[in-house]
Structure 1
């Protein structure tokens, strides 16, 4: 099995993220001016206005990563699971490619303002989407067998495995840590652009829920 991760995609995606942030900044600044914004009067109210515009986005996609998985799959017919039947081997080589996007849920975000100190509380970063590139994905080589033909279900099962593997490898490789760091950077820049760099923006990340634990 081979799993290839294209790190350059994460870098290029951040450029698009910056453009989206610029658009959001313009909207926030406009809101503050309409509200007769004066940073020296009430930093807490102004920060809440900025925060309100941020959470309206619902979620923040902060990083993206391409991946490619190439693997060989195959099996043999068996006699009631006791032993493999000779001459019934089949196999295929398959390439599966896609793009992972990770970020944070803004709907559950919280803010606390004390003087010029802002504390943003967020749930842990998570994988928002895993989109396959079906134009690049497909069977590379196939060894079929009339006694045990390759079925659509075999390919479907392999694709599901690829999705699971791509996400597990991304998490192990630090994609979610990178998503949190980039989310902090983007949110911090929004507050700086709207309120000035005299504010101090810090972050608190909630603990990830235990698997199987009720929300």
Structure 2
């Protein structure tokens, strides 16, 4: 027994065709919007990272620690002959002066990453950023010189360099770098706590 199929009505065929076109359009639109949404989220993360990085640069000075000191040092030099001082060649002086050593973290080297609502800031190690001597504060006492061994510019520059190195070592021994890093971490945490919504978590390491 054979079965005869009823031919499709033209209106029904057109309806199926339009339904197919509409379904394809909906799927295509969803894919397009999904791609735009993903790209938008990625771009937002990039923009946020750049903004946060720029904000770090604005607190560079606040994230430093200053070690101020007053130093008194004695310079003495004489000519010698096989380890024996030659008479009348000794020159010496006592110098007092004020100086400042600044230590901190180079925030230009900080790395910022954003993952959802978590912001992670990785800071470089603390270091000495500058060491300045106040030349107006310099006073020389008990200066002694010799016509056989007069003072030279090198005497002063070498002495100053040695004293700066000695004072930096003293500052480091008192925990200057640890204090500088702690202040940098605190400053960065306060910055982002004020700049970001409460829903964000900030980690500084």
Instruction: Indicate the residue corresponding to 1:86 in structure 2.
Output: 87
2:110–2:122: 8 Å Cα contact kept in structure 1?
yes
Aligned counterpart, 2:101: 100
More helix by share: 2
Would you identify which runs of 4 or more consecutive aligned residues in structure 1 move more than 6 Å? none
Q: Is the 8 A contact 1:90 1:150 kept in 2?
A: yes
Which one has the largest radius of gyration?
2
Which residue, out of 63, 66, 76, partners 1:64?
66
Distance 2:140 2:86 in 1: 25
The DSSP-based 3-state class of the residue aligned with 1:119 is: strand
Query: In the alignment, which residue of structure 2 is the partner of 1:75?
Result: 77
After superposition, residues 156-171 of structure 1 pair within 5 angstroms as 156-171=157-172
Unaligned runs of 5+ in 1: 1-41, 205-215
CA contact (8 A) 1:125 1:179 kept: yes
Q: CA deviation at 1:198?
A: 4.5
Q: Structure 2 matches for 1:127-146, cutoff 5 A?
A: 127-146=128-147
Q: CA deviation at 1:62?
A: 1.7
The answer (yes or no) to whether the contact 1:116–1:199 under 8 Å persists in 2 is: yes
Corresponding residue for residue 25 of structure 2: none
SS of the equivalent of 1:155 reads helix
Cα-Cα RMSD: 2.5
Query: How far apart are residue 149 of structure 1 and its match?
Result: 2.3
TM-score between the two structures when normalised by the length of structure 2: 0.68
TM-score computed with the length of structure 1 as normaliser: 0.66
Query: Which residue of 2 is the match for residue 148 of structure 1?
Result: 149
In the alignment, the residues of structure 1 paired with residue 46 and residue 98 of structure 2 have an alpha-carbon distance, to the nearest angstrom, of 46
Q: Distance in 2 between matches of 1:129 and 1:92?
A: 27
SS of corresponding position for 2:129: strand
CA contact (8 A) 2:78 2:149 kept: yes
Aligned residue in 2 for 1:182: 183
Distance 1:169 1:62, change over 3 A: same
CA contact (8 A) 2:53 2:112 kept: no
Aligned length: 162
Q: Are 1:47 and 1:195, in contact at CA under 8 Å, matched by a contact in 2?
A: no
Following TM superposition, by how much is the alpha carbon of 1:55 offset from its aligned partner in structure 2, in angstroms?
4.3
| Closer, same or farther: CA 172–125 of 1 in aligned 2, 3 Å | same
Structure 1 residues 191, 147: CA separation in 2 closer, same or farther (over 3 Å shift)?
same
Conserved 8 A contact 1:89-1:145: yes
- Structure 2: 5+ residue runs without aligned partners? 1-42
8 Å CA contact retained: 1:47, 1:191: no
- Does the CA-based 8 Å contact 1:50-1:191 persist in structure 2? no
**Residue 106 of structure 1, CA deviation:** 2.0
Query: Match for residue 193 of structure 2?
Result: 192
